[in-house]
Chain A
Amino acid sequence: MKNPDNKLQQPELPQGFSTETLKTIAVVGVLVFAFTNWNMVIAFMVNAMIFIYRLVGHNFGIAIILFTILIRVVTWPLNAQQMKGATAMQEMQNDKEWQAIQKKYAKDKEKLAQEQMRVYREKGINPFGSCLPTLIQFPILFALIPTITYAIGSTPLSLLRLSGYVYQAQNVATLLPLNSKFLWMDLGLPERTLFLGISIPILALIVGLTTYVQTKLTMPPAASADPNDQAAQTSKMMGYYMPVMLFFFSLNYASGLAVYFITSNLLAIIQYALMGRVNWRNLFPGGQK
């Protein structure tokens, strides 16, 4: 076959296959791989954590923070795509053509869906663009819980399971058990600080607060403006329920996980700020208007 421009030719995709479809298939493939090779994923993360722990002079708190930064860096493109997808979907709500087809086919759901897909295609928007990157982060989050629990090894069973996950090359016999003390906390235990005789879960409160701030700051402006916008209202509710959920989670789980949540929240705010997508006004009542 002739190639007069002497350029590498892009292989043609089968009919009906867009780049976005391929991305979706790739994400699903990664998810299927992760969940069918769950022990391999945990083993990789456990060993990465131990490697960092050794590197930073046996400080597990610093290891968790660096590990979180590493995860953020690795998933940066995914997060960026998620932000882009979310913004595109929000902007779509204000698109005149979009609003017109909503009205026109309000009673014909099948036709409406066809028209919506056509508009998505024409504008180059992947309707799953904002949720696929989130989905791919689920295995990481799910694997982090056993990773931190096993690595801290605060019970015989968790230490035994850790023993089964570490690579031979790590030579951890002299390293175990890992030092779980960080600042005033034991990372293997839920954090409580006594104040005037009352036990206060400071770290869990910080998790709740940073989650609230992060969700609020990173909420697109339109998300909190239109009361009829289903997606916007769901985002708004997430702003209230996620902090509550993670607060309860941090209340009873090892504080090492709370350190991860706080670091992750702060890094998310930084990432959004660097991309110029932080809405500081969302933090204040009436600031969204």
Chain B
Amino acid sequence: MKKILLISVLLLAAVLLSGCTGSTTWFGLSAVGDVAYVANNSAVHAIDLKTGNELWTFSGEASSGIFSFGKSPKLFVVAPIVTADGTVIIANSGNDHDMYAVNPKDIADPQKPIPAIVWKFVDVKGHWIAAPLIVGDHLFAPNADGKIYVLDLKDGQSVKKAIKIIEPFKDVPSKPERLWSQPVSDGKRLYVTSLDHSVFAIDLATYDIVWHEDLGGAIPGGAVLGSDGMLYVGSYAKQLERFDPATGKHESVLKTNGWIWGTPVVDGDNLYFGDIVSGVGGYFYSYNTKTGKSNFEPVKFESEITASPLVLPDHVLVVTESGNIYAIDATGAKTSWFEVTKGKAYTTPVFANDSVLVSYIEADYYLIALDKDGHKKWTFPAGK
């Protein structure tokens, strides 16, 4: 009897342990038109913003055959993006590293709505953490293997191979060249940040690296183009850096208390962003690109800020790790806007269809829709 018990415990432990990927992270969130997309690790759910009901779900292709034995589960954490014709680009951040384009208009079984796969791209070696960027007919997909895969969206046909692989770190193979954030583009160049402290510009006509600079600290967030035409980047170097996009010449314009995680947000001449200060919490900053000064003193929070702020007409919403959301007015005054009893928030919130969408982990729901006053409209899954 003891033998059977021991064997059972060991086998159970083996199954449980092998089922874990060890790489679970916070959810990806995006919204286009009346539809919100949440990548909640196990699947991507498309949700009707008016009702909070699920429209379809996608969890990749089912593994089959003997070679699927021991295969790791799929992991969906990248915010899905939508092309002009409504195709949804979904990345699997599990160990298979595949990227899908699915067509929500092509659903075979309405009882079990799963969009048809238009194409699938598998030729990568690293995790997908960053959301790709569509520029014209091309999809620029940065990967944690340090390469940017350029895919053709034009014909909607299978793109089993990238039409171009940009390798900014080709000559520095020993560096941890992870690309974790969505690039930004002015139409002529692509500006990419990497966790290995680098910021670089790529010519979209030639795919050449125009310039490459080191910030001296990890850059988990992306770059942003300000109203002054300059490029702004935050990093673990505890400073907001301003780049001349033409030359790559840069300077520090604002010292911060902690590490900047999220991509700064532009609103006219103002930039908004938060930081993380270990053991303390986080600070919220407002920087005016015209005057080159802070609009007010950094606003302190009890927990860290990894999400980018959300700009609304009357105030800026700051989502903190604790899950609580605060409204900051033009003077830097802080008021509690929404409180949670359970869950943590790291994902950047989205405003769509008169709703503020916030994604939580370790909560009873993945997504909550709030009205402009911070009152709950619905949650997904519903009833929680």
Interface positions of A (Cβ within 8 A of B): 145, 149, 154-160, 163-164, 166, 168, 173-174, 176-181, 186, 188-190, 192, 198-199, 201, 230, 233-234, 237, 241-242, 244-245, 248-249, 251-254
- On chain B, the number of residues with a Cβ less than 8 Å from chain A's Cβ atoms is 54
Q: What 0/1 pattern do residues 1 to 33 of B give for CB contact below 8 A with A? A: 011001100110111011111111110000000
Contact (Cβ within 8 A) A190 B72: yes
Taking chain B's interface residues, is the majority helix, strand, or loop, or is none over half, making it mixed?
loop
Main secondary structure of the interface of A (DSSP, over half): helix
Pairwise interchain contact A189-B180, C-beta atoms closer than 8 A: no
Bound-complex Cα distance A149 to B23 (A): 8
Once A177-B218, A248-B14 are accepted as A-B contacts, the answer to whether A156 and B2 lie under 8 Å apart by CB is no
Whether A177 contacts B176 by the Cβ 8 Å rule is yes
Given contacts A156-B129, A248-B70, contact A174 B217 (CB under 8 A): yes
Give the number of A-B contacts (CB < 8 Å): 125
Specify which chain B residues have a CB less than 8 angstroms from the CB of A149 in the assembled complex.
Answer: 22-23
C-alpha gap A192/B220 in the complex (Å): 27
- Report the Cα distance A179→B25, complex, angstroms: 20
- Contacting A at CB under 8 A, from B100-129, are 125-127, 129
Please, which residues of chain A bring their CB within 8 A of the CB of B196?
177
Q: Does B346 sit within 8 A of A, measured CB to CB?
A: yes
Considering the chains assembled together, what is the distance between the CA atoms of A186 and B177 in angstroms? 12
- Cβ B127 vs Cβ A181 within 8 A: no
B217 contacts A248, C-beta separation under 8 Å = no
Asked whether any CB of chain A lies closer than 8 Å to the CB of B216, the reply is yes
User: Is A177 within 8 A of B178, CB to CB?
Assistant: yes
Contact with A along B173-210 (1 / 0, CB 8 A): 11110101000000000000001110000000000000
Once the chains are docked, how many angstroms separate the CA of A39 from the CA of B18? Answer: 24
B279: which A residues are within 8 A, CB to CB? 164
When the two chains form the complex, which single residue of A156, A201, A253 contacts B20, counting CB atoms closer than 8 Å? A253
Q: How far is the CB of A239 from chain B (nearest CB, A)?
A: 12
Contact A155 B20 (CB under 8 A): no
Q: Are A244 and B261 in contact (CB under 8 A)?
A: no
Whole-angstrom distance between the Cβ of B276 and the nearest chain A Cβ: 6
Q: How far is the CB of A187 from chain B (nearest CB, A)?
A: 11
Q: Which A residues lie within 8 Å of B67 (CB)?
A: 198-199
Q: Give which listed residue, B15, B18, B72, B278, contacts A163 with CB less than 8 A.
A: B278
Quick check: A173 and B72 within 8 Å, CB to CB? no
A181, closest chain B residue (CB): B174
Contacts A173-B259, A252-B21; is A164 near B278 (CB within 8 Å)?
A: yes
The reply to whether the CB of B237 lies closer than 8 angstroms to some CB of chain A is yes
User: C-beta contact mask, B146-187 vs A, less than 8 Å → 1, else 0?
Assistant: 000000000000000000000000000111101010000000
